[in-house]
Structure 1
Amino acid sequence: MTEAKEHYLRVHQFLESSRANGPGLRAVVWVQGCTLGCSGCFNVPTHATTGGELVRVADLVERIIALAEKIEGVTISGGEPLQQREGVAALLHQLKARTNLSVILFTGFSWSELERMGGVTSADGAASHRMSLGMLEDVDVLIAGRYDATHHLARDLRGSTNKTTYFLTGRYAEDDLQRVPLAEVVITPEGEILMSGIDPLKW
């Protein structure tokens, strides 16, 4: 019998409870690493590909499942989640299989770029079977596109007007996103003050 492949994610921050990263109370995973270089990005500390903490996806799944009765869903942001798409895909697939939590995914890539990612070869030589689009079967809302500071918006979970929101299931609609607070300040269990949301500078 072939052993299941172990998946890992390089994580910048995990927040157990947020109201500014999607509808309802949500856990948030900010992945570490992004090479897109969007000018004016607020999350510059998430860009380095060698920072953060290397986390086993199975452990992260269990941590989120432990919160499942208290939260409505999970938001995946970054960093750039789709530059770690095997780990993110594994995380989302396991969460959808084992919980009823909703999933919101942020990416700096456009839909056309996601289409072109399909069929690439992974590091171990196995075909990704169009992983980038296939993984979206486990996503309720996708917010896609580079951040463009010259078209700043900060509304409906979009940081700039060029970003596109895709409602991939019937779980949410546009008015659900309109009710999400623009920003929040959270004190983590470690005592760290965390500013979060689509427009945290205007808190």
Structure 2
Amino acid sequence: MTGLRLNRCHYPVTALGPGVRAGIWVQGCSIGCSGCVATDTWPSDPATEVSVGTVLGWLASLSGPVDGVTISGGEPFQQPEAVAELIAGIRAWAADRPVDVLAYSGYTLSRLRSRAGLSRLVDACDAVVTGPYARNRPGGGWLRGSANQVITPISPLGQARYGGEEPEGPRLQVGVEGDRVYLIGVPRRDDLDRAAEALRRAGVEIEEASWRT
């Protein structure tokens, strides 16, 4: 199977789409939006590569419900072959169940549509959130970091889940792996610093933070 540069997987995710979701963050992004909350996903490190089959095996091992899969990063559309194989595997695993695939991209939809391979990858998703993060344009809503970003439903399932008024849900959730704490979601301005202060009061000191550059 194709190799995928992977930052991490997490389950359950409730802050990046409706329902209970599996989250997959790819490694590597050359866009480098100012104010990005995930600068740790920028380096395209070959050492992070795993097979797509490994990620699909993790997905198949989940014992709880999965209403959708959110693919973020990093920049998924800079690994189109691997991500296309991943989505095909998700479709095969989900069979006839209504499991939606939501993908994030720092590219605009028009740019993705201008390249045949990337346009096909868009069409493989149920919905996409596109556009670079713009720290001077707050108010993006639950699933968008800034107001310039756009949610586009692609499939009938995507239309049903993302085509109406933007849904609301939890902004942030916490994931822990060893001595690393992950804040998952699309924060509003200053949310992360408030979360860091809450962790400090709870006795958790943050030595390095991916949103501080």
Q: Same fold (TM over 0.5)?
A: yes
What SS is found at the alignment partner of 2:62? coil
2:147 counterpart of 1:180 = no
Moved more, 20-29 or 60-69: 60-69
What SS is found at the alignment partner of 2:139? strand
C-alpha distance in 2 between matches for 1:136 and 1:67:
26
Report the counterpart of residue 147 of structure 2 in structure 1: 161
Report the counterpart of residue 15 of structure 1 in structure 2: 10
Moved more, 174-183 or 104-113: 174-183
How many equivalent residue pairs? Answer: 185
C-alpha distance in 1 between matches for 2:151 and 2:29:
20
Q: Is the 8 A contact 2:151 2:162 kept in 1?
A: no
- TM-fit CA distance, 1:115: 1.9
C-alpha distance in 2 between matches for 1:117 and 1:11:
24
- TM-score under structure 1 normalisation? 0.83
Q: Is the 8 A contact 2:152 2:163 kept in 1?
A: no
Report the counterpart of residue 193 of structure 1 in structure 2: 181
C-alpha distance in 2 between matches for 1:159 and 1:18:
17
Q: Is the 8 A contact 1:153 1:160 kept in 2?
A: yes
Instruction: Quote the sequence identity (%).
Output: 29
Report the counterpart of residue 120 of structure 2 in structure 1: 134
The 5-angstrom pairing of residues 111-150 of structure 1 reads: 111-118=109-116, 131-150=117-136
Q: Is the 8 A contact 1:156 1:174 kept in 2?
A: no
The residue type equivalent to 1:86 in the other structure is E
What SS is found at the alignment partner of 2:71? strand
C-alpha distance in 1 between matches for 2:16 and 2:88:
20
RMSD across aligned positions (CA):
2.0
C-alpha distance in 2 between matches for 1:80 and 1:158:
15
C-alpha distance in 1 between matches for 2:63 and 2:174:
22
The residue type equivalent to 2:112 in the other structure is L
- TM-fit CA distance, 1:175: 5.7
Alignment equivalent of 1:26, drawn from 12, 21, 26: 21
Q: Is the 8 A contact 1:23 1:177 kept in 2?
A: no
**Relative to structure 1, is the Cα distance of residues 23 and 133 closer, same or farther in structure 2, using a 3 angstrom cutoff?**
same
**Relative to structure 1, is the Cα distance of residues 138 and 69 closer, same or farther in structure 2, using a 3 angstrom cutoff?**
farther
**Relative to structure 1, is the Cα distance of residues 163 and 73 closer, same or farther in structure 2, using a 3 angstrom cutoff?**
same
C-alpha distance in 1 between matches for 2:82 and 2:63:
20
Q: Is the 8 A contact 2:140 2:148 kept in 1?
A: no
